[in-house]
Structure 1
């Protein structure tokens, strides 16, 4: 049942990933799920840049060096994390959004559609026993220096993907849906 899949999905971080490879077929399956997200006016604003294999090393170097060049509060821990996390992952997807160049739709609708595409990917990855984690460090605003982006396209973060061992923890919510719902 889809509700059980939704309720059991968790963030799985790069430190939890094992060395099992993610295949191109698995990545394509996850991306195909993204393409079926709801989208107003059928703009399909989601765009993805796939870092797989050697490209993950380059991504880590770029993120760490960009962080070092642009931060006011440098941390060696953060530098190392930005260097190593892409390599620990089986694959990293840059989550990008292509704005409607005619400006017909409000930006929030395009962001929401892209987020729904990510949710589809996350649930598909979970079903495939692939862990996922959406990271949105401040340095995403510099991604156009590393990857080709179209006019109006922006990076919203990274979806780290990796296979993992063991069970995921139980989920909790701070309150019930009844406490967050008003019937009118």
Structure 2
């Protein structure tokens, strides 16, 4: 993991750094290519790769923010100035954003549910691959994941769904841990 943190240490302290705390630099093209290669090494029953990536960098993030604001104003014309600025910055808070797009579809042997789970694994693997390269990453969904009006602008095709948007950058913010579930509340033992 980043700065030679061992995987066990990373898992022990894994948390999401708030996207508002992200800054440059983001990964170089070479680093991002390696990150995406590592991320794609997920369980994939049938080897059908039921997902793909879309990388948003540079001015594309600003243009998408303008579209997010336009669509938000259609639904809520009396948005506060702060809410409008949040929409404009939705994809420019981090140096880059990667969409993990599920292409799950009916298949003769592989249930769609397994294909969707593979896309979820891809999201988490992408977060861990970023951390392994010394970057922070946050898996977000937000309203843009579920609003059909924005899918075309995001490059998501009919029949596809965003599994998440992974915001990637650098940060020195010391994120406090949040309460975690007690194992006694979430584990059943069958002997």
Q: TM-score range by the shorter chain?
A: 0.7 to 0.9
Distance 1:147 1:101 in 2: 24
Q: Deviations over 1:104-144 (max 9, x none)?
A: 53332222101101111111111222111122122323343
Distance 1:7 1:114 in 2: 23
Distance 1:183 1:171 in 2: 29
Among 111, 131, 137, the alignment partner of 1:106 is 111
Task: Note if 1:27 corresponds to 2:32.
Answer: yes
Q: Post-superposition shift, 1:38?
A: 0.4
Q: What does residue 83 of structure 2 align with?
A: 78
Q: 1:15-164 counterparts in 2 under 5 A?
A: 15-71=20-76, 74=79, 76-102=81-107, 104-140=109-145, 141-142=147-148, 143-164=150-171
3-state secondary structure, aligned to 2:189 = coil
Specify every segment of 5 or more residues in structure 2 that has no aligned partner in the other structure, as ranges. 1-5
List structure 1 runs of 4+ shifted beyond 6 angstroms: none
Specify every segment of 5 or more residues in structure 1 that has no aligned partner in the other structure, as ranges. none
Distance 1:118 1:32 in 2: 13
Q: 2:54·2:155 contact (CA, 8 Å) conserved in 1?
A: no
Equivalences, count: 184
What TM-score does the superposition give when structure 1 sets the normalisation length? 0.84
